Amino acid sequence: MKLEDARVLLIGAAGGIGRYLARELLDAGARPCMVALRQEELDSLREFLGASGADACYLAADVTTETDRQACVDKMQEKFGGVDVLINLAGINAFARYEDQSPEAIERIMLVNAVAPMLMARAVLPGMLAQAGGRIVNVGSTFGSIGFSCFTAYSTSKFALRGFSQALRRELVGSGVEVTYVAPRGVETPLNPPEVYAMAREVKMAFDQPEAVAREIVDAVRKGSKEKYIGFPESLFARINGVFPGVVDNSLKKQNEVMRSYAANGGHD
Ligand SMILES: NC(=O)c1ccc[n+]([C@@H]2O[C@H](COP(=O)([O-])OP(=O)(O)OC[C@H]3O[C@@H](n4cnc5c(N)ncnc54)[C@H](OP(=O)(O)O)[C@@H]3O)[C@@H](O)[C@H]2O)c1
C-alpha cells in the first residue's frame, strides 16, 4: 500500500521503536497521529522529530481504557476524517520468574499487549469496512511463537496477539481490510531492563537497532505482508517450534537456568 497521505493511527509512538517508526511514516508522506501513554514522552517525541513533526497530531492516551481508545478514533476522525492504517505497537514487558510476578502485573501485560490491540482494532474496523479499505498492523515478537522462560506472561500475550492477527486476517478476506503481524526479535530499547541485556550477552541473544526494525515494519505495510518475522535464525526457530516443540525444549534447557538466575537478580514487573 502507498503510504503517501495515508492516515495512520500509531499506538506506542514515543517508545524505542515508535519514534523511528513515526519518523519513517512522516518521511514517507503519511499523516500519522502519534499516541503514547505519557504526555512528557510525546513532548520528547515532538522534539526528536523536529521540523518534520511540528504540525503532526499527538495524543496522550491509555489504550487499555474504552474512553481513551474512543478518543484516538475521534481524534483521527476530526483531524483526517478516518483511519487507513492502525499500528498496534504499544507494549510492556517483564523479565521475572513467573512465581515472582504480581497478579496485577500479569493482568496488565495481557491488557496492554493483547486486549488493547484487539479492542483498538474493533474500534477502527467499522470505519475501515465502510470505506472498504484499511490495514491493521499488530507488532508481536519472536516470543509470540516461542514461549520463553522468564518472559512467560509476555510470551503469552504475544501468542494471543499472533492468534488474533491470523483469525482476523482470515475473517476479513474480501472486505478490503487487511491484517499484518510483525514479529521482531530483541530490539535495543527502554522496553528491556539492564538484566535482560546482561542475560542476553551470556546466552548470545541477538538484538537489532530500533531504526532497522522501524524500516522493516514500514516495508511490511508497503508490501502488504501477512506476517513478517524479523531476524535470522529466530524466524526459523519460530517455525521449528511450531512443528517440533520438543526439539526447542531441549535446546533451551541450558539457557533456562541462566535466564532464571538473571531474572531472580532484579527482574522487575
Ligand atoms: N524492544 C524489544 O526487544 C522488542 C522485541 C520484540 C517486540 N517488541 C515489541 O515492539 C513494541 C514496541 O516496543 P519498544 O521496544 O518500542 O517499547 P518501549 O520503548 O517501551 O515503548 C512502548 C510504547 O508503548 C506505549 N504504551 C505503553 N503502554 C501504553 C498504554 N497503555 N497506552 C498507550 N501507549 C502505551 C509507551 O508510552 P510512553 O512512551 O508514554 O511510555 C511507549 O510509547 C512492543 O509491542 C514490544 O512488545 C519489542
- Ligand 1 midpoint to CA 189 (Å): 9
Give the position, in ligand 1's atom list, of the atom nearest the Cα of 142: 6
Mean of the pLDDT values across residues 49-76? 96
Q: Whose CA is nearest to atom 45 of ligand 1?
A: 91
Q: Please, which pLDDT band fits residue 267 given cuts at 50, 70 and 90?
A: very low
Q: Which residue is listed with cell 475473517?
A: 171
% of the chain beyond a pLDDT of 70 = 98
252 or 266, higher pLDDT: 252
Question: If you compute the radius of gyration of the chain from its CA atoms, what whole number of angstroms results?
Answer: 18
Cis status, amide bond into 245, omega within 30 of 0: no
Give me the pLDDT at residue 264, please.
79
Q: Whose CA is nearest to atom 5 of ligand 1?
A: 186
Per-residue model confidence as pLDDT tens digits over 213-228? 999 999 999 999 999 9
Mean of the pLDDT values across residues 100-109? 96
- Ligand 1 midpoint to CA 143 (Å): 15
**Rounded CA gap, 29 and 232, in Å?**
31
Give me the pLDDT at residue 233, please.
92
| Average per-residue pLDDT for the chain | 95
- Ligand 1 midpoint to CA 218 (Å): 17
Give me the pLDDT at residue 268, please.
47
**Rounded CA gap, 63 and 60, in Å?**
9
- Ligand 1 midpoint to CA 50 (Å): 21
Q: Whose CA is nearest to atom 31 of ligand 1?
A: 62
Residues with CB under 6 A from ligand 1: 11-18, 35-38, 41, 61-64, 89-92, 112, 139, 141, 184, 186-187, 189-192
Report, at the CATH architecture level, how domain 7-264 is classified: 3-Layer(aba) Sandwich (3.40)
Give the position, in ligand 1's atom list, of the atom nearest the Cα of 196: 3
Per-residue model confidence as pLDDT tens digits over 110-142? 999 999 999 999 999 999 999 999 999 999 999
Give me the pLDDT at residue 151, please.
96
The 8 Å CB, 24+ separation contacts for 50-54 are 52/23, 52/26, 52/27, 53/22, 53/23, 53/26
CB-CB contact of 66 with 42 (8 Å): no
**From 64-68, 120-124, 131-135, 198-202, the region with the lowest mean pLDDT:** 198-202
68 to 13, 26, 61, 122, 248: CA distances (angstroms): 15, 24, 5, 14, 40
- HEC profile of 122-144: HHHHHHHHHCCCEEEEEECCHHH
Residue 266 has pLDDT above 70, yes or no: no
Q: Whose CA is nearest to atom 21 of ligand 1?
A: 15
- Ligand 1 midpoint to CA 13 (Å): 8
Residue spans per domain, the chain: 7-264
**Rounded CA gap, 216 and 219, in Å?**
5
- Ligand 1 midpoint to CA 10 (Å): 11
Give the position, in ligand 1's atom list, of the atom nearest the Cα of 190: 19
Q: Please, which pLDDT band fits residue 73 given cuts at 50, 70 and 90?
A: very high
Q: Which of 73, 121, 113 is nearest to 90 (CA)?
A: 113
Q: Whose CA is nearest to atom 32 of ligand 1?
A: 62
Q: Please, which pLDDT band fits residue 265 given cuts at 50, 70 and 90?
A: low
Q: Please, which pLDDT band fits residue 10 given cuts at 50, 70 and 90?
A: very high
Task: List beta partners, residue 11.
Answer: 35, 88
Q: Whose CA is nearest to atom 29 of ligand 1?
A: 37
Give me the pLDDT at residue 254, please.
87
Per-residue model confidence as pLDDT tens digits over 131-172? 999 999 999 999 999 999 999 999 999 999 999 999 999 999
